[in-house]
Amino acid sequence: MAAESIAKAVHDVLATWGAQGPGAIFFLVWAAVLVVGMQLGFMFLEAGQVRTKNVVSVLMKNLLDLSLGGIVFIFFGFALAFPDYAQSIGKWIATMFTANPWSADPMKAADPYNLAYCFFQFAFCATAATIVSGAVAERINFKACLVMTVLITGLLYPIFVLWTWGGGWMGGDTGLFAKVFGQPYHDFAGSTVVHAIGGFLAMAAAYLLGPRIGRFKNGKPVPIPGHNIPQAFLGALFLAITWYGFNVGSSAVLYDPTNESWISSLVATLAMCGGAAAAAFTTRFDPLWAANGLIAGLVAICAGCDIMSPFGALLTGIVAGLIIKPAFRLLEKLEIDDVVAACPVHGFAGVWGAIAAGIFGAEALGGAGGVSLAAQIVGALVCIAWALGSGFATFYVIDKVIGLRATEEEEKGLDETEFGVSAYPYMETRD
């Protein structure tokens, strides 16, 4: 009897975490804090893979992706992506000019959950923008990079979010996909909505920029090693830690008593482990590919982390770890210089994750069901088309107006030419 009373008491407490109560707001805010922490992971991962003369440049691009992109997304992008929350762009902007709706006391605020949800989505948007900055490192014009960040966070990313998470024609329960395929497009935590969008935008930008000086010779790739593998490993492992906010936090509640559901961290863990192990073994334990495999597994599991079994998650991660190096070699054949393998790790692995959700999310393979493989394949293709098409068009215009590429003189060391500092002032930089 005592055990039943304790169980009921625990259930009653957890009930305050469901829906949009104070507990749910607390959970969402701290999940968002973890996702914002991913920026630090990306900083170290990318900085470790560039040369000493360009480290500060990478750090600054990541910082501005977060800060400048945050302003743009919070004021404009969020309202475009989530009209049900913002009601309209005009009304959303108007609320920014009064403190009342954003009271620190959640019991007095007009709609405190919207604030928390906007913060959470801002963290996702910053991740998509940061993915691009790694691919174009060591040769992009800093001003052009800032303009790219504004357009990605204020327009390109929010539009695809509207189509999927915002109740649009792909992800809405009454949208076109649901009518045609019987189920809407399913991407629970952003394999495509965040990662593949960022990855293929990165591919478009890298193509238009052209390769770094000396990256290809007579059509053959010439490796340009980064300066600090431990730094890259630190970034990868920090991403692994903060990723739990990405996947588990996407439930938006810790516990919902209306359907007795929550998101298990076990599937993310197994996908991560499978990706790292597969990449390590198939590349003869290449350090950077092993680290990238870990991230690829996490990217791939995002779409179906709410509907897959642990075994399905493991297989999803293994395949993600297997495909990233061949995808990178494909880019090299096209002479596309993706410095940190952003497109293979986030683009290709993200697309695979969306398709995997349709495979391992099916009830016949141990999944929870409610997903269509056809919808997942078509949705992934739409993602690629939107990212490449809008990316090429947007970045082409930026190139013509501002110029995407730094000058040849600036490329001798972006830290000194753009910022007048060096990450390692007492060390000799390496070309």
Specify if 116 maps to a domain.
Answer: yes
Specify if 11 maps to a domain.
Answer: yes
Sequence-separated (6 or more) residues with CB below 8 Å from residue 61: 133, 137, 140, 142, 145
pLDDT tens digits for 367-419?
999 999 999 999 999 999 999 999 999 999 999 999 999 999 999 999 999 99
pLDDT tens digits for 156-200?
999 999 999 999 999 999 999 999 999 999 999 999 999 999 999
Specify if 425 maps to a domain.
Answer: no
Lowest mean pLDDT among 1-10, 70-79, 132-141, 382-391: 1-10
Element (H, E) at 220: strand 220-221
Specify if 428 maps to a domain.
Answer: no
Q: What single-letter DSSP state applies at residue 296? A: H
Tokens for 53? 């003369």
SS3 244: helix
Angle at CA of residue 13, ends 8 and 19, nearest 5°: 115
232: domain CATH number is: 1.10.3430.10
Residue 246: band (very low, low, confident or very high) from pLDDT cuts 50, 70, 90:
confident
Specify if 354 maps to a domain.
Answer: yes
Specify if 340 maps to a domain.
Answer: yes
Q: Which amino acid is at 269?
A: T
User: Cβ distance 423 to 55 under 8 Å?
Assistant: yes
H-only helix segments in 73-174:
78-81, 83-86, 89-95, 112-135, 142-151, 157-164
Structural domain range at position 229: 2-419
User: Cβ distance 431 to 53 under 8 Å?
Assistant: yes
Q: What is the pLDDT of residue 22?
A: 72
User: Cβ distance 345 to 295 under 8 Å?
Assistant: yes
Specify if 404 maps to a domain.
Answer: yes
SS3 217: strand
User: Cβ distance 383 to 165 under 8 Å?
Assistant: no
For the cut 60, the answer to whether the pLDDT of residue 272 exceeds it is yes
Tokens for 404? 């995407």
Specify if 290 maps to a domain.
Answer: yes
Q: Which amino acid is at 315?
A: L
Q: What is the pLDDT of residue 1?
A: 46
For the chain, the domain total comes to 1
